Structure 1
Amino acid sequence: MNTATIFNIQRYSLHDGGGVRTVIFFKGCPFRCPWCSNPESQSFQNEAMRKEVLCIKCSSSSALKCTRSPENCPTGAIETIGIEYTVQEVINEVKKDLIFYETTEGGVTLSGGEALCQGKFCIELLKELKKLGINTAIETTGVGNWDTLDKITELLDTVLWDFKIMNKEESEQILNLDVELMKYNFKKIMDKNVKVIPRIPLIPGYTAKEENMKQIIEYLCNFNINEVHILPFHQYGSSKYKALGRKYKLDCLKLLSDKEIDNIISLFNGRGIKTVLGGY
């Protein structure tokens, strides 16, 4: 029986494809974005996360060296991240919210990590969702096997496609992401009958540099793209790094000012591309 490792099934989401949605977060990602707000999504293996607020340091003077298993933690401070699900088990969760999909034009969004890494499961799941008449979307970098992406796309209503760093060397060095493969797959997907919305995380010093924005705009102007979603940098996930025993590298990174964000919006608007701040 085909299963997938999932680290969260988030219900009542409002920013991942339209309407009220259930977001399925697949565990495992080959990329290493320094600003990742879900670091628990990166490893393909199950791992332990410590909730500091619950930890009573019962087994060590340093809780990060705690050797207790999640099952033996007296306060529930140690949590296992990653659960194996079958397609039917995910469908059972999704069905709980059918009424919300129907009344808000919502649906189910596949996210991660990078969902394409568990493509076979995604295809099976999307087929079952379509049988139920559920609107489907995916959040992806688009970097993966084209045959898998092609089959997945046939079962999607919306593709939320991340654009990050366009310079090939910087993308590989900083993110471990092949931007040429991303562009190749994007060009092919634009020939298909599916709604594609580019999304751009605005990360100071990384993606939000003016030259990078201009490169993204120039690339998108080759296609019939009239709307992008821009996602301002935040540090909401920074505490997760400590919970995983990792260092968060962007602690001192300042948020963009309203003026800086407005300037970026103006670059897109000047080329006839509408921007949606924060996505939907």
Structure 2
Amino acid sequence: MTSFAAPRISCEEGTSGGEEVARIFNIQRYSLNDGQGIRTVVFFKGCPHACPWCANPESISPRIETVRRESRCLHCAPCLRDADECPSGAFERIGRDITLDELEREVLKDDVFFRASGGGVTLSGGEVLMQASFATRFLRRLRRLGVPCAIETAGDAPADRLLPLARECDEVLYDLKIMDPQRAREVVKMNQRRVLDNLRLLASEGIPVIPRLPLIPGYTLNDENIQYALTLLLSFGIRRVHLLPFHQYGEPKYRLLGQPWAMDGIPAPSAREVAYFRKMAERAGFEVIVGG
């Protein structure tokens, strides 16, 4: 396999009045698909990758963005194009900076649901490893309070950034996408060798890892890619996987951002295709969840 230079991950963390801040774009409450129980998911802004099927294009840029929703627009004259001044909310800001204290207060509003369901907080993105320092400090706070913690990551960052964060987690949801290193570099700008080295490291540390395999037509939805992933996971002693079928839910977001949708017109995998790959994994000895 060909070696190649890794994409540079820049961290967007900063300070506000002396306080460390992170940039997020959403806090999603009552999620059932991002870890055990009822979860509150914090979406960090910024991602170094370029997955054509990304369902959250608003997560990619680390910058705060402003979008306009035509359906809400009153066509004021003159238009200030200011999210704070817009009387109808047609102009909307995507992204905000938040301190550790502010984020802690936000997620602990849901503490009763965590305790009742065995849920907790999941940090997602974008790519949370772009803001790993903040994320690690935040999860340490939550763990001291007894809140279960998880992250969702593609694992493409230096190990000294990933490992301290992963050690604060009860679960690491680990995305495995295009397994061939050359194609991963060309299509999604990912250092697949580093992704797999980090996965091996987490497994050797005994950190609970749940690999997630997206089923993307034209990219990962084929026997070779899935079998490669399953064989590798078995060698690491991992026996659970989530299969994530492609969907078109992200398409309206691309229109809102004025960006082309590379997967336009591509159908979701059929129930028969999903069942085929589920059976492949189960026959290999995996516990499989579809949708995860």
TM-score range for the pair, normalised by the shorter chain length: over 0.9
Q: 2:172 aligns with which of 159, 176, 185?
A: 159
CA distance in 2, matches of 1:270, 1:124: 40
Matched with 1:120 is 133
Q: 2:187 aligns with which of 168, 171, 174?
A: 174
Structure 1 stretch 21-30 or stretch 66-75: which is displaced more?
66-75
Deviating beyond 6 angstroms after TM superposition, the runs of 4 or more aligned structure 1 residues are none
Q: 1:59 to 1:179 in 2, by over 3 A?
A: farther
The answer to whether 1:80 aligns with 2:98 is no
Partner secondary structure for residue 221 of structure 1? helix
Q: 1:42 aligns with which of 60, 63, 68?
A: 60
CA distance in 1, matches of 2:258, 2:241: 35
Structure 1 stretch 42-51 or stretch 132-141: which is displaced more?
42-51
What letter matches 2:193 in structure 1? Answer: E
Partner secondary structure for residue 206 of structure 1? coil
Q: CA RMSD in A?
A: 1.4
Displacement of 1:94 after TM fit? 1.2
CA distance in 1, matches of 2:80, 2:198: 44
Q: TM-score of the superposition, structure 1-length normalised?
A: 0.94
Partner secondary structure for residue 2 of structure 1? strand
Displacement of 1:122 after TM fit? 0.5
CA distance in 2, matches of 1:59, 1:196: 54
CA distance in 2, matches of 1:161, 1:59: 49
Q: 1:133 aligns with which of 146, 149, 154?
A: 146
What letter matches 2:183 in structure 1? Answer: E
CA distance in 1, matches of 2:222, 2:66: 35
Structure 1 stretch 47-56 or stretch 148-157: which is displaced more?
47-56
What letter matches 2:69 in structure 1? Answer: K
Matched with 2:28 is 10
Q: 2:158 aligns with which of 145, 157, 167?
A: 145
Superposed, 1:184-199 pairs within 5 Å as 184-199=197-212
What letter matches 1:259 in structure 2? Answer: R
In structure 2, runs of 5+ residues without a counterpart are 1-18
Matched with 1:55 is 73
CA distance in 2, matches of 1:192, 1:108: 22
Between the two proteins, the alignment pairs up a number of residues equal to: 274
1:62-90 CA deviation, whole Å, 9 max, x = no partner? xxxx8712123332111111110001100
1:101-140 CA deviation, whole Å, 9 max, x = no partner? 1110000000000001001101110111011100000000
In structure 1, runs of 5+ residues without a counterpart are 61-65
What letter matches 1:6 in structure 2? Answer: I
What letter matches 2:165 in structure 1? Answer: I
Residue pair 1:52, 1:243 contacting (<8 A) in 2 also: no
Matched with 2:113 is 100
What letter matches 1:199 in structure 2? Answer: R
